Structure formats: structure tokens, C-alpha cells
Amino acid sequence: MTSYFEDIAPIAYRGPDSLEPLAFRHYDKNRLVLGKRMEEHLRFAVCYWHSFCWTGLDPFGQGTFLRPWFEGGSPMEQARQKAESAFDFFAKLGAPYYCFHDRDVAPEGATPRESHENFRRMVDVLGHQQQRTGMKLLWGTANLFSHRRFMGGAATNPDPALFAMAALQVRDAMNATRELGGENYVLWGGREGYETLLNTDLARELDQLGRFLNMAVEHKHKTGFKGTILIEPKPREPSKHQYDFDTATVYGFLVRYGLEKEVKVNIEANHATLSGHSFEHEIATAAALGILGSIDMNRGDPQLGWDTDQFPNNVPETALALYHVLRAGGLGQGGLNFDAKVRRQSIDAADLFHGHIGGMDVCARGLLIAEKMILDGRLQAAVDARYAGWEAAGAQDILAGRVSLDQLAERVLADNVDVAPVSGRQEALENLVNRFCGA
């Protein structure tokens, strides 16, 4: 087969003054940032689904992408052709990782056994392609939302037989992820929620979801999988309300079902904004709760109210997100997956490269700005100064439970001092961030 990407040369770093369109201007994977290579900080991953499975279809029109693996041959032949093209793209782009859903890489069969066997054959193909190109797997997952059988949920389905079918897919996807050297496993509950409470037993569905996740954790330990299990929060779409609404909601769920030490979150920028939060808020919340795992790096459109999955292009927002990642000690086994797709009018093979190059350069610039903010120290110093009073012995006694409410109230009466508030200096700090960003 002639490669779909044969006319495109491998993407190289050319520096910030380069005018070459298919080249990195800021992503220099070997540049040291706080003592680690840029590639090790960012750990970029290309997603299989948006890049190689999406046809350009939208609710008002048919697909616009005429990729060769969308037509001709059997579904398995198309899957093999898609895999070869995908790994050609990965290798030329130079990102170290990729990620997939089970149904991205293998077609659904007529029976559960046929679907299982299709996937097993394609896992062998992926293993071969990884050896051919040197690519690594950041994470795998199972698609428990596209097929009509899951219209009422997967783990939260009212039918235990469909709960069992979801378990088969997750078991197979977890095993494949382990065999392919994957470093994480993700669960996204797109249908784990409800459309109306008129036909929903919410308490029962939460218990089902809690048991399902515990089964996945048990399987991880049984098989010796060393990766991290991740939940990806999202408030709505496709469900009206999803049980993994945001990071704080997920943490409460994990605590209730005894999983807060076992499961972390994979935070998506577009999902964060759909939940009414900022991207940096979700990252900072996950870090504070000890469950920051990995990131889906994309953006939404502020004029639209749904998940548009666009490549990141806002340097200051990305810099602040990565500032909180660095302050948290990095992503560990996680990475930055581009859960982003080119627009349906971007129909050329080169457009896939333009989208990823732009996103990777934006992240690289953001990382370098975040490094400057950390080395400068003024942002952290301002936070430390604001909370300095809590470092005093008396304040530490309060936090340690050595002072009662009554004792604290009597202390205020004895001191009889009307304490004046201190400025939070928000505008000054915003100006400081803008200076780091070149504004």
C-alpha cells in the first residue's frame, strides 16, 4: 500500500524563527526544562479516534474525509490499513505515544466472540507496528458508548446482561493495554448518567458503577498491570447528566467506594470548561486531592456549548495549566493526549500534521513560560505570604484539633482586636503572568 502520508517528510524542530509550515518552532524534545527533557515533561500522545476514525460527519452532513482506510476491502482489512497509516503518521510526527479505544482499532463483530477475536488479531498488529516505529502506548480504553446496546449506560445499565458485555470489553481492553506496554488505562463514562430521573434509580446506578470500577481495579492487580487506572470527568454530552461530572465529583465517588488510593483522573480541557470550571481549576483540584493522573489537551469554543475538541492555541491558558502541573510534581506515568480533531473542512493529509504541530508548539511555549514562573518564584511567594499566618504555632494548633470552637471564640474576645483584611493583589498577579507571557 502507498502510504497516505508519503509526501510529508518527518517533522523536525527548526527554531522560533523558522518559516517552514510543517516544522516545530518551539517543541525541542531534548531541551532541558527544570532538569528534564521537554519530551519527558509533556509525554505527547496522538489519539487514534479523532485522527483516524472520525469521518468528518456532523449532525447536519455526511463525512468529508476521504481516507483510504474508510472504503474498500473487509472491515478487518480496513482496520489493518488504518493501523499502518496511523503508525506512519505517529512516526513522522515524532510524538512518543499514542492511545486508543478498542473499537478504534478493530471492528465490531456480529457476536461478542467475533468482536473479541477481531480485537485480539488487531492487538497483534498494533504490537508489530509499535516494534516497527518505536511508538509506545500511553493508554488504552474501551468504547462503551457508541453501540446502541449501551444507550442506557454500560456499568449503569438496567440490564445486568449488558453490564456483563461491558465487562468483557473492559477486560479485553485492559489485557491488551498491559500486553502492549501501556502506562495507563482510562474509563470514560459517556453513557454513565441519565437523560431523565423519571426512569432512573440513581442510587442503584451509582452502586453498579462503583462495583464495576472495583472489578477493574481487582483485575489490574490480578493480572499484574502496573499502569494507573484513570477516570475522565465530563459533566454532560452525550448524557444529560454524567456521574463523573468534574474532578471533585469523581473524588467523592472514589472515596465512597474505597478507590481514592487506586484511581486518578484524566482531565480534559474542554470537559473542564463544560463543567463551568477552568482547565487550571480542574488540574489544581486534582493535585490538591492527590488524584492528578493525565491530561487530554484540547480546547472548546466559547461561543458553542458542546465538546468541540479543538487543538489548543491559547498560550497563556496552556502556560497556567502547565504551571499547576509542574507545581504538582508533573504527570508521572500520565501525559498530554491530543483529544482533538481537525475541522471537517480540513480534508488534506497535511492538515492532520498542522493540527498536531500547532498543539505541540503551544504546549512547548506554555511549558517554557511555566518554567520561568516557577524559577522566578514571585507567584508562589505571593501565595506563601498570603497564608503566612497559618504557619504560626497558634494557627497550627487550630488545624491539629488542639483548640475548640469555644476556646477560639474566647481568644478573640480576650484579644479584642478588630483585624483588618489584606489585599489579595489579584490584578498585580495577573499583570505579572502577562509579563511572563510577553504581554
Show Cβ contacts of residue 368 under 8 Å, excluding neighbours closer than 6 positions. Answer: 26, 33
Residue with cell 461561543: 303
261 by DSSP, 3-state: which? coil
Q: Is 70 exposed, middle or buried (0-12, 13-18, 19+ CB in 10 A)?
A: middle
Active site residue 246: no
**How many angstroms separate the CA atoms of 37 and 30, rounded?**
5
Instruction: Render 140-189 in DSSP notation, one character per residue.
Output: EE---SSSGGGTT-STT-S-HHHHHHHHHHHHHHHHHHHHTT-SEEEE--
Helix (H) or strand (E) holding 8: none
CA-nearest of 311, 299, 249 to 274 is 299
Active site residue 147: no
Question: Are the C-beta atoms of 272 and 278 separated by less than 8 Å?
Answer: yes
CA atoms within 13 A on the CB side of 32: 2
| CB count in 10 Å sphere of residue 24 | 22
| Measured distance between the N- and C-terminal CA atoms of the chain, rounded to whole angstroms | 49
**How many angstroms separate the CA atoms of 176 and 363, rounded?**
30
- Of residues 26, 41, 101, 277, which has the active-site annotation? 101
- Of residues 88, 104, 309, 339, which has the active-site annotation? 104
The CA-based angle 255-245-281, given to 5 degrees, is 90
Show Cβ contacts of residue 349 under 8 Å, excluding neighbours closer than 6 positions. Answer: 4, 5, 7, 8
Partners of 98 in beta bridges: 46, 137
Question: Are the C-beta atoms of 99 and 140 separated by less than 8 Å?
Answer: yes
Active site residue ranges: 101, 104
